[in-house]
């Protein structure tokens, strides 16, 4: 109706004269909302205009891309991020989308292999059909894919990685994180194990099991982040332990997860050494911090606990299958250890606990059948998936509605939050969406609240929304994950 009214007089006169009316190509019709416009136009500055479309953006949808381990590798992480993003997008789309556009996630399996992840990025973005990368999974893969994305001016949003190498200062224009870094997780976990207990623990009583380039103690960037965080605590007073003196054992990415003979042998030699000192209560407790994905972490805990209690309970001196032996003095030293406690960072979370539950029990030094997960501690960078806070309540409801039976977990909750972040920015950009406006909207969020129980923050100098770390204990026959109260953990 507005179009007829705006041009009624001249149009009527021309028709009366039997002449052809003027071409309306390029005319910007007046409008108050997108609904007043047709032909793919949007309402901007009170006029209907044809938008300048960014890659992956059409009049009715915005396509995001994701590469992760969905079929092989640490599939619990890849599928978790994929499910989390998809259930939130399904909810948004069911409400009409964002400015009339549906949100779409295009995902490709990379098996946690950097070369395949890069090929996925090229397949999605070189045809210019995808707007931004969202929730890509893994540190080794991100180290390969992000430089390519930045070189091609592609937003790289909320990857599942805490790699400190992907957190430069000042922050990179094209890269925005949701989560705390692995280094921050390692610091929080180390402080909890050593500083926040009622009984002071010697710093030499903690070691690191980490992802590496081999099984001889050489860490990759993921494992290095755990080492950096551990070192941040240990090199300071009262410990004053230099990084090179920290005990480190590794597994090689891609190696058979159940082959843990080398790191287990190194663990037992460490337990038998004079590094393990009595705490202020006279107990000898040894702690192992793990920067590992779920399968290798679970395999190491099972192999290590079996070997440790064979020595403690039976005085076994022979390594299996490596054929190495312990001396009588080493056996005596290991039998003097009061507790061996494992603590894992976020990539080894619910699937890790479930993997340990499937292994059943071991017989401890007192002859009691004990779950492999008993007494373990894990960190996570989102609240517990059963927390009673607004966003987590919404996540669980949307998982029921759109998750096709998927169980709640830390990783899918992180993917859900990633979806929420981009939706917040898209709402602020408005209908005329391009990458520069999207990045500016993310930075412009400032301090904002998604319902997590604490504020998130983006800004010109801050591209990591959260620095929070939570902790949980794992135990019982089903390896139940129970949150540690904030005042106990932080």
Residue range 185-239, pLDDT digits in tens: 999 999 999 875 667 889 999 999 999 998 888 999 899 999 999 999 999 989 9
Query: Are the beta carbons of 371 and 475 closer than 8 angstroms?
Result: yes
CA distance 337 to 326: 15
Which pLDDT belongs to residue 341? 95
Domains detected in the chain: 2-49 (no CATH), 61-179+386-459 (3.40.50.2300), 183-380+472-489 (3.40.50.2300)
- What 3-state class would DSSP assign to 68? strand
Peptide bond just before 237 cis, omega within 30 deg: no
Mean pLDDT of the 310-338 span: 84
Residue 396 reports pLDDT greater than 90: yes
Closest-CA residue to 421 (of 177, 196, 258, 207): 177
Task: Give the helix/strand (H/E) hosting 77.
Answer: helix 75-94
Name the residue with higher pLDDT: 166 or 32.
Answer: 166
Which pLDDT belongs to residue 490? 54
Residue range 142-160, pLDDT digits in tens: 999 999 999 999 999 999 9
Residue range 413-471, pLDDT digits in tens: 999 999 999 999 999 999 999 999 999 999 999 999 999 999 999 999 999 999 999 99
Which pLDDT belongs to residue 486? 62
Residue range 13-25, pLDDT digits in tens: 333 334 444 444 4
Per the prediction, the chain carries an average pLDDT of: 89
Residue 9 reports pLDDT greater than 70: no
Which pLDDT belongs to residue 448? 97
Which pLDDT belongs to residue 37? 83
Please, is 81 exposed, middle or buried when counting C-beta atoms within 10 Å of its C-beta (0-12, 13-18, 19+)? Answer: buried
Closest-CA residue to 412 (of 353, 457, 350, 467): 350
Mean pLDDT of the 97-107 span: 97
Query: Are the beta carbons of 335 and 347 closer than 8 angstroms?
Result: no
CA distance 246 to 118: 34
User: DSSP secondary-structure letter at 471?
Assistant: E
User: DSSP secondary-structure letter at 169?
Assistant: S
Residue 357 reports pLDDT greater than 80: yes
Closest-CA residue to 277 (of 337, 221, 330): 337
> Of 19-28, 66-75, 408-417, which range is least confident?
19-28
Q: How far is CA 81 from the centre of its chain?
A: 8
Mean pLDDT of the 91-96 span: 98
Query: Are the beta carbons of 298 and 260 closer than 8 angstroms?
Result: no
Which pLDDT belongs to residue 348? 67
Which pLDDT belongs to residue 13? 34
Which pLDDT belongs to residue 257? 64
Q: CA–CA distance from 252 to each of 214, 258, 438 (Å)? A: 4, 12, 39
């Amino acid at each position: 109706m507005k179009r007829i009214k705006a041009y009624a007089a001249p149009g009527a006169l021309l028709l009366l004269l039997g002449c052809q009316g003027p071409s309306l190509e390029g005319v910007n019709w007046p409008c108050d909302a997108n609904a007043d416009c047709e032909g793919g136009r949007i309402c901007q500055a009170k006029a209907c205009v044809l938008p300048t479309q960014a890659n992956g953006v059409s009049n009715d949808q915005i396509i995001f891309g994701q590469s992760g381990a969905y079929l092989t590798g640490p599939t619990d992480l890849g599928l978790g991020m994929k499910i989390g993003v998809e259930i939130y997008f399904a909810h948004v789309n069911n409400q009409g989308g964002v400015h009339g556009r549906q949100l779409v996630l295009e995902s490709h399996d990379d098996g946690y292999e950097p070369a395949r992840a890069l090929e996925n990025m090229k397949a999605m973005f070189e045809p210019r059909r995808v707007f931004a990368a969202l929730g890509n999974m893994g540190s080794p893969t991100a180290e390969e894919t992000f430089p390519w994305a930045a070189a091609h001016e592609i937003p790289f949003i909320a990857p599942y990685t805490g790699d400190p190498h992907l957190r430069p200062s000042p922050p990179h224009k094209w890269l925005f994180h949701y989560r705390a870094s692995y280094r921050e997780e390692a610091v929080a976990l180390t402080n909890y194990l050593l500083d926040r207990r009622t009984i002071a623990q010697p710093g030499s009583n903690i070691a690191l099991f980490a992802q590496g380039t081999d099984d001889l103690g050489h860490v990759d960037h993921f494992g290095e982040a755990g080492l950096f965080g551990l070192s941040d605590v240990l090199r300071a007073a009262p410990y004053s332990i230099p990084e090179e003196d920290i005990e480190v054992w590794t597994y090689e990415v891609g190696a058979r997860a159940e082959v843990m003979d080398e790191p287990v042998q190194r663990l037992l030699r460490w337990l038998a050494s004079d590094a393990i000192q009595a705490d202020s209560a006279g107990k000898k407790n040894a702690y192992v911090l793990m920067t590992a994905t779920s399968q290798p972490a679970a395999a190491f805990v099972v192999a290590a606990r079996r070997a440790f209690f064979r020595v403690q309970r039976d005085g076994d001196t022979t390594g299996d299958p490596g054929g190495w032996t312990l001396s009588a003095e080493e056996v005596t030293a290991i039998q003097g250890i009061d507790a061996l406690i494992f603590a894992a960072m976020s990539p080894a979370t619910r699937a890790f606990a479930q993997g340990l539950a499937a292994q059943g029990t071991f017989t401890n030094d007192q002859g009691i059948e004990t779950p492999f997960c008993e007494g373990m501690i894990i960190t996570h960078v989102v609240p517990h998936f059963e927390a009673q806070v607004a966003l987590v309540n919404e996540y669980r409801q949307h998982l029921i509605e759109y998750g096709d039976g998927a169980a709640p977990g830390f990783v899918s909750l992180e993917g859900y939050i990633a979806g929420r972040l981009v939706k917040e920015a898209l709402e602020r950009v408005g209908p005329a969406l391009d990458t520069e406006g999207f990045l500016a909207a993310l930075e412009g969020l400032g301090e904002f609240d998604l319902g997590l129980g604490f504020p998130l923050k983006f800004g010109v100098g801050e591209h990591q929304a959260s620095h929070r770390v939570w902790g949980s204990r794992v135990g019982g026959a089903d390896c139940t994950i129970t949150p540690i109260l904030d005042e106990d953990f932080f």
